Amino acid sequence: MKEIQNNKDALKYITGKWLFILLIVVQYGFFMLIPVSKITRGLAYTPWVSLLIIFSLICIVGLSSNNMHFKSWIFVFVLINLISVVYIILKYSYFDNTVLSGFGYAISIFAYFPIKKLSREINIYKILIIVNILAIISVIIQALIFNITNHLLIPSIDLSNLQIKSGLRITYYDAFVIFGFVLSTDNIFYKGKKEFLNIINMIFSTIYIFYVSQTRYLEFFITIIFIFFFLKKVLNDLINGRINYVFFMIMPFFLALLIIIGKSLYISVLYPVIDGSYVNNGSYFARMDGIRYFMGTIKDSPIFGLGNFNASSGTTYWNMIHGPLGFYYTQDIGLIGDIARLGFPIFIMYVFMLIKSFKVDQKRKENSGLKILLLSFMGSISFLSNGLILALIFVLLEDSDYEKND
């Protein structure tokens, strides 16, 4: 009888492992290998396939019940989003796919429970890293071939929905790429785990951000991450007397590279705000002017915000949600945008969630990258609209060591 039970448990976790892999692969649009652009875009901007997999995970793996520091905040997060749906219906007499999608992304945070249970049996960290590497390679190849030939290798995306900056710009998968990047930098620079996968993932993630995404804030973010971990390592090595001659030979070149990147980012990110030239840059202007607009909406509705929806194009509410010019997006301005969507309750939750994150990790102090990622929500991009990423961050913060079983 015990052997039968063991076999059932083994089958349960094997099935759970493959469902988890499928869940993460879906976040990258099946690596942009499906030659139907509507499917690729649908996977990037709708939560339904992910929710189906999460529901399957809950049914097969079950719910964890031990060492769940963030359980209460998960229910608070869902409640805030549910109240927002009710608010939209009552205030605007409006309900569409964008309202449903917003709530769908919110309840994907329930993935925390089965993933937490899976994390005790399988190496979810390694799965996240391997899938991130494979996805980035696929997307980089697509972008590279297009930049050379002006044609896609696989017609998996609609080019009319994308920008051409310094080559083809693809931002569908930014959130998960930066998440994967943080996992590896934590391990390489802080935990001393310089495995091949971590190094490759860090390198390819950096290439993706600068070559494919071309998002200034993410370029700035990973530069800050590098500087933070570099200075932290130097300080630790100085304290422990581990500085050697090779280090002193390499350090000037590394510092020179950081200075060059830092200067470039200062010119492109900060200086336009100082001299006012950002008004000549469409995306930059949309963010800066969007901040002004959404600060006004927060003042008008501080408790409930505008509501967690985008409104369908051409409807009465489009310009209310996206500003008088119609191209402001709350997702582009971080925490301010989250407050504009969901009101001050989401800010209060974020503050307490941040405090909880530092408390959970205070004894080990080995997840600095994840905590910096949480702090970065106050910048240009926030993950508070994506429950799945929050679930993964919470699970990994609670684990004393990413490296579990294979």
- The Cα 102–Cα 243 span in angstroms is 50
Question: Would residue 153 count as lying in a domain?
Answer: yes
Question: Would residue 250 count as lying in a domain?
Answer: no
- Enter the tokens of residue 141: 């190849």
Residue with tokens 């980035």: 136
Q: Say what the pLDDT of residue 192 is.
A: 59
Question: Would residue 249 count as lying in a domain?
Answer: no
Average pLDDT, the chain: 83
Q: Is the pLDDT of residue 403 over 90?
A: no
- Enter the tokens of residue 314: 């051409």
Which letter, b or e, does each residue of 250-278 get, where b requires 16 or more Cβ atoms within 10 Å of its Cβ?
A: eeeeeeeeeeebbeebeeebeebeeeeeb
Q: Is the pLDDT of residue 265 over 80?
A: no
Question: Would residue 254 count as lying in a domain?
Answer: no
With bands split at pLDDT 50, 70 and 90, how would you rate the model's confidence at 390? very high
- The Cα 396–Cα 302 span in angstroms is 32
With bands split at pLDDT 50, 70 and 90, how would you rate the model's confidence at 4? very low
Say if residues 366 and 186 touch (Cβ distance below 8 Å).
Answer: yes
| Percent of the chain whose pLDDT exceeds 70 | 81
Q: Taking residues 147-151, what's their average pLDDT? A: 93
Question: Would residue 49 count as lying in a domain?
Answer: yes
Number of CB atoms found within 10 A of residue 338's CB:
25
Q: What single DSSP character describes residue 170? A: -
Q: Is the pLDDT of residue 243 over 50?
A: yes
Encode pLDDT of 309-354 as tens digits: 988 777 889 989 988 887 788 888 889 999 999 999 999 999 988 8
Say if residues 395 and 119 touch (Cβ distance below 8 Å).
Answer: yes
Encode pLDDT of 65-116 as tens digits: 667 788 889 999 999 999 999 999 999 999 989 999 999 999 999 999 999 9
Q: Is the pLDDT of residue 120 over 50?
A: yes
pTM value is 0.87
Domain with 182 in it? 2-242+282-398
With bands split at pLDDT 50, 70 and 90, how would you rate the model's confidence at 406? very low
| Percent of the chain whose pLDDT exceeds 90 | 43
Question: Would residue 63 count as lying in a domain?
Answer: yes
Q: What is the DSSP string of 86-106?
A: HHHHHHH----HHHHHHHHHH
> In sequence order, what are the residues at sequence separation of 6 or more whose Cβ sits closer than 8 angstroms to the Cβ of residue 12?
60, 61
Encode pLDDT of 178-198 as tens digits: 999 988 887 777 665 667 889
- The Cα 294–Cα 284 span in angstroms is 15
Residue with tokens 């609209």: 385
Question: Would residue 248 count as lying in a domain?
Answer: no
How many structural domains does the chain have?
A: 1
Question: Would residue 270 count as lying in a domain?
Answer: no
Q: Say what the pLDDT of residue 359 is.
A: 78
Q: Say what the pLDDT of residue 12 is.
A: 87
